[in-house]
Amino acid sequence: MTDRPFHSSHAETLAVSLGRPPREPDAPFNEPVHLASTFVAGGEREYGRYGNPSWAAFETVLGALEGGTCVSFASGIAAISAVLDLVPHGGTVIAPRHSYTGTIAQLRDREAAGRLRALLVDVTDTAAVAEACGDADLLWFESPTNPALEVADIPALVAAARAHGTMVAIDNTFATPLLQQPLALGADLAVHSATKYLAGHSDVLMGAVVAADASVAEQISGRRALSGAVPAPLESYLALRGLRTLPVRLERAQANARELARRLDGHPALEEVRYPGFGAIVSLVVRGGAEGADAFIDRVQLWIHATSLGGVESTLERRRRWPSEAPTIPEGLVRLSVGLEHVDDLADDLLAALG
Ligand SMILES: *Cc1c(COP(=O)(O)O)cnc(C)c1O
């Protein structure tokens, strides 16, 4: 019996049906965890740093969801590092001033070593970013940004970059391919911290780059082999297991986030409720600065005080507790990662803690 390929463009179907072993009698439904450092010679993999069927299954599914060729990594930051390695020596990278702090740290580190020049911009200032593309090698951005939740005009920025031959990479961690597909919008690369929504259960560190062009994907997988930042087989298995349910998880989390943003809007203890209209991250600016925000966090019972995001559990964090967070982020900004609990319980806990 052979596979009967069924063609679909629906994310729900792709997430569930792809990346499975061939349908043969007694075959398992899921690609097993292939614990292997080496493979019998004569094939394409040869050694565990060059390939593993457990990664390949995850890459098949994420590649299909993003519409490109996926290369998975040991973490999101390893994926980001591999993309920045594509920038020629002395090249210029444009990135939002409110990028993920680890991205800024990578740019700063490379800049200090004389590797590249980083130009940090307000990603909502479309005209300024478009103009800066003139002499840039890479336009890197996130949309929405973390944790300011600014949304970029992606088609306009991609068009400006294209006009100048500037490569475009979009960190799609917050939106996921279900809410935004960078490659379909004209970007060259979509980058992920699979640690967050894709894996979704706060138990895995993993990352990925999805390239529109297969030869660029090959270059990136070459970087992965050189750096050794390969994903582990067990993590790959868990991340794919998470990815199977991403559509239903995200639907619930987004509905909860939307409803919480609505219920919290105008609360007297809050200066601001930021919600970009999609996704499951809400940022609150609590009155009373750092002190007011910390007191609020101390009082919640259901929500977990923790960094990171995108798990089934609802978590919250005052971002400026990290010295590396951008000084333009308000001291009292608390980022909510809305999970899958009942929305009334999530709201009750927050409202009680706000007093
Ligand atoms: C967490 C995160 C990263 C880094 O990913 P890790 O898996 O933690 O290495 C990159 N970008 C964004 C937007 C993130 O939230």
Atom 7 of ligand 1, nearest CA residue: 76
Where are the domain boundaries for CATH 3.90.1150.10 in the chain?
A: 247-354
How would CATH label the architecture of 11-244?
Answer: 3-Layer(aba) Sandwich (3.40)
DSSP β-bridge partners for residue 210: 70, 190
| Among 196, 308, 335, residue to substitute to test ligand 1 (most atoms within 8 Å of Cβ) | 196
According to DSSP, the β-strands at 304-305 and 138-142 are unpaired
Asked if residues 300 and 353 have their Cβ atoms less than 8 Å apart, the reply is yes
CA 268 / ligand 1 centre spacing (Å) = 32
The CA 77 to ligand 1 mean position distance, Å, reads 6
Q: What is the pLDDT of residue 4?
A: 65
Residue ranges matching CATH 3.40.640.10 in the chain = 11-244
How close is the Cα of 193 to the center of ligand 1, in Å? Answer: 4
Give the separation between CA 185 and CA 131, rounded to whole angstroms. Answer: 19
**Mean pLDDT rounded to a whole number for the chain:** 96
What are the C-alpha distances in Å from 253 to residues 77, 181, 182, 315? 24, 19, 21, 12
Among 150, 195, 205, the mutation site with the greatest number of ligand 1 atoms within 8 A of its Cβ is 195
In this prediction, residue 94 carries a pLDDT of 97
Note the pLDDT tens digit of each residue in 331-344.
999 999 999 999 99
Q: What is the pLDDT of residues 225-238, one digit of tens each?
A: 999 999 999 999 99
For 265-280, what is the mean pLDDT?
A: 98
Ligand 1, pocket residues at CB < 6 Å: 75-77, 100, 102, 142, 146, 171, 173-174, 193, 195-196, 205, 207
Protein residue whose Cα sits closest to atom 1 of ligand 1? 193
Nearest to 325 by CA among 97, 119, 156: 97
More confident residue, 69 or 134: 69
Residue 202, pLDDT above cutoff 70: yes
- 273-287 tens-digit pLDDT: 999 999 999 999 999
CA-closest residue to ligand 1 atom 6: 76
Which residues are known catalytic residues?
A: 49, 100, 171, 196
pLDDT for the residue numbered 3: 58
* Strand, coil or helix: 157: helix
Bridge partners of 142, per DSSP, are 171
- The third-level CATH classification (topology) of the domain covering 247-354 is Aspartate Aminotransferase, domain 1 (3.90.1150)
The DSSP-derived string for 293-329 is HHHHHHH-SSSEE-S---SSS-EEEEGGGSTTS-TTS
Q: Over the stretch 86-138, which tens digit does the pLDDT of each residue have? A: 999 999 999 999 999 999 999 999 999 999 999 999 999 999 999 999 889 99
pLDDT value at 2 more than 80: no
pTM, full prediction: 0.96
